[in-house]
Amino acid sequence: MANETTTRTTTIESLPAELLALVFDFCSELKHLDKIKHKKAQLNEPPWHFISKGLSPSQRFGSQVDRFKLLKSGVWFPYSHASVCRYWMEVLSSSPRYWRTAIFHLDSESKPPFDAASVLSWSKDLTVDIAIIKKDAPRSPGNMDDISEKQQVQALVDLLTPHLHRCRSIHIDVHLNSSLPRILRHFVGYPSILESLSLFCDFNDLSPRDEVLFPIRPEWGDTSLRSLVLDGRNLPDVCSGWLRSQRSLEQLVLLNYSVDAKNYIHLDHILETIQTLPNLLRLKFDKVFVLLGSSAVFTNQIQVLHFEEVEALIMDEIFRTCTMNELHTIHITRCSLPFVPAVSKLVLEDIDPRDPLEPILQEWEGSHLWIGRCRGFGDSFLDMLRTTSDWDDGEFHCPWVETLYLAHLPRFSLKKLKKMIKLRSRSINYDDPSWRTTAPFGPAIRELHVIRCDVAELTEKDMEWFRARVVTFRYLKQADPEL
């Protein structure tokens, strides 16, 4: 009698749990390596650190990049795998280490086969990073979904209460300011290990401020908070008391604050609070509009200062009233240019073309200049860099600039770029084989980066010309992908 062979159909649900666990361990390790290789979002790191460690040739613009795009995509491990079938979900949920990043989508049409309470319970007692994020693009206020957004955020924050003691970071990104939780009302617990709290919103819907003054909760007085993104709704609540108690704070972003009849704060009030934070090094004002008028003088240890969509009057007032002896980097995004102090690094991003760069920068005395997405940039700026001052012993404009980054800029002349480099380098003896390490730079350009600008495509001969005259030259044509 012939042997009978029985064929068994293998499905994803028939794999042994032990084998699946090995596969999932491999997927988890791949995710970790991918984050390192591509610098993907890591919630325990500050959400705004694009210029905190100096300028880098491969750096992207902070206001143009959504660092949490991958978290919104639905392919983040283990959530994508747990959605395949109930069996996979059961295997994954038995390993707490997979769930140390808890992601909750506010406006997802397709609901996952597991609820928020389960996700929080699966990590057991491990340290967790929390992300409550919208998935779709910004929309105008007034949408019926706005009510649902507020309700979803409140429900999720309530679920977090018994887990606050093990939260390392909390990142909440919503459409409306009024959907965000109030720190002194909704966060009840002891977040002793919390390092990063980010409250983002697209719009300030100017919800009237509650008249009830919430007392500072004693358990919030001693935390490990290092990075804080603070929305305009919370700012008046915490500026006087709670914020001043965050002595470990290194980075602060103030976001979407506008003065109205029931919700107002003076700039000097903010600056006085900042002065009390001994470890604060990085500060950003993002769409902040406050009342001015003060004769006070403030001192702080800020090293990096970023303005995005802030009035020039506010920037001028900060520079006038604050002594910032440690300040080395100023980043200005979508603002009218104020008077710019002599710091070593200056980043200008998406400046209004009605604000010419030349008058503001011609006497600037910094060494590292980054200009990106500025539609008013052109040959006149290169002409300014290659000419000398009539009243300062023939010194070049921007006399100490030695590092120049040009990124995503409108059309300018390659010929004039070369002429500028040549004239500013006239003191360098290129016959000296050690000129790259011994030559005096500033005004001579040491580093030049031309990144995806509208300039005539460089030939190999052009690139050799630049490499022979600057220590570091980097070029990406418009069609090249960003690194």
- Condensed to tens digits (0 to 9), the pLDDT of residues 171-210 reads 999 988 889 999 988 887 778 889 989 998 888 775 544 4
Cβ burial of 53 (10 Å; 0-12, 13-18, 19+) is exposed
Output the CA angle 126-131-133, nearest 5 degrees.
160
Q: pLDDT tens across 320-336, in order?
A: 999 999 999 999 999 99
pLDDT given for residue 59 in this prediction? 37
pLDDT given for residue 408 in this prediction? 94
First to last CA, the chain: 67
pLDDT given for residue 80 in this prediction? 79
pLDDT given for residue 210 in this prediction? 46
Give the Cα separation of 337 and 351 in Å (integer).
Answer: 8
pLDDT given for residue 253 in this prediction? 92
Whether the ω angle into residue 399 lies within 30 degrees of 0, i.e. cis, is no
pLDDT given for residue 475 in this prediction? 96
pLDDT given for residue 190 in this prediction? 72
Instruction: Tell me how far CA of residue 113 lies from CA of 28, 87, 96, 160, 477, in angstroms.
Output: 20, 12, 18, 20, 45
Contacts of 390 (CB under 8 A, 6+ apart): none
Q: Which residues of the chain have pLDDT under 50?
A: 1, 36-44, 46-65, 144, 208-213, 216, 218, 261, 483
CB contact at 8 A, 355 and 336: yes
pTM confidence score:
0.86
Q: 231-265 as b/e, with b when 16 or more CB fall inside 10 Å?
A: bbbbbbbbbeebbbbbeebbbbbbbbbeeeeebeb
Give the Cα separation of 257 and 237 in Å (integer).
Answer: 12
pLDDT given for residue 270 in this prediction? 94
Q: pLDDT tens across 241-251, in order?
A: 889 989 999 99
